[in-house]
Amino acid sequence: MTALSDLDDLEFFAAVARSPSLTSAAREWGVTLSAVSKRLTRLEERLAAQLVRRSTRRLSLTEAGELYASGARGILQDRADLEERVGRSSGRLQGPIALHSTMGLGRHHIAPLLREFAEAHPGVGVELTLSEHAFSIAGSGYDAAVRVGPPPDARLRLRRLHPNRRLVCAAPSYLEAHGAPRTPAELSGHNCLVIKENDADFGVWRFGTGPGDETAVRVSGDMAGNDGEVIVGWCLEGRGLMLRSAWHALPLIRSGRLVQVLPQVPTPPADVFAVTDATAFLPRRTRALLDHLAHGLAARLAEE
């Protein structure tokens, strides 16, 4: 994220408005909460209007704040589009890109690929936000969001960046002690590490090729969590079986640290998608970034 001191008021408030809290915004800029609060107070005094209901836990915009944030996003987008059209004659990409990604995929793959893109296109400013919280991209200020599994909202524009599915796996030590299930039904006799994300019921593991060919199996165990890295760590320690995306599990399986269980039983697709607002103009720089992510994920995951 651009330094707080380098932002004009429109950029500052657009960034605040899409942050879950003032504390989160301060953390992103690497400044104190007090610095962000003082900057916000100066803006509100200049506009003679309260924009944000103060809370360190969760950010809430007033009616005036919603109006200012919406207008700021539109003006910033118009400015970015104008700068892109002016710079198009030179062939250079330029302007800001705000990208949202899930935590695990973002840390492992998206962040390194964004660094490559920024190095190749110095006229582009890239901002990455990592979070597992679901949100509506329309009007969010983000140009695109990267997530695993297609969202159900048909109003969104989807681009598949890489095929992916979830794999059942376990550490060799767990399988030596407890054996391996031979069918999905036998999972009921095993300790399964359950991950809980976005309020989804991950205590149900699904098998099959997709809609119309899907079997749901309820699993349980003595350990559950909301962070994929934690679940993987427990699995590596031999605590139980886990169901995890291939982009995360395959390197560990290929290294021998984990073993795929039920490899003959397919699981439904859980592809990596880029999501954009279908009603919004997609700038050339954003299309180029999505191309880079698709090629980069193919190369990185093929190597793993």
What CATH number is attached to the domain comprising 195? Answer: 3.40.190.10
The verdict on residue 285 lying in a domain is: yes
- Structural domain containing residue 245: 166-261
Residue 212 confidence (pLDDT): 74
CA distance to 127, 163, 247, per residue, from 103 (Å): 14, 18, 13
Q: Provide the b/e sequence for 50-67 (b: ≥16 CB within 10 Å).
A: ebbeeeeeebebeeebee
Residues 186 and 246 in one domain: yes
Residues 277 and 157 in one domain: yes
Residue 304 confidence (pLDDT): 45
Could you give the CA distance from residue 263 to residue 265 in angstroms, rounded to a whole number? 5
Residue 262 confidence (pLDDT): 95
Q: What is the phi/psi pair of residue 190, to 5°?
A: -120, 155
- Could you read off the pLDDT of 67-121 as tens digits, one per residue? 999 898 888 878 877 776 776 666 788 888 999 998 889 999 999 999 999 999 9
Both structure tokens of 52 = 């944000």
Both structure tokens of 264 = 């003959």
Residues 292 and 171 in one domain: no
Regions of the chain with pLDDT less than 50: 303-304
Could you give the CA distance from residue 84 to residue 68 in angstroms, rounded to a whole number? 24
Give the pTM. 0.67
Residue 19 confidence (pLDDT): 78
Tally of structural domains, the chain: 3
Residues 198 and 252 in one domain: yes
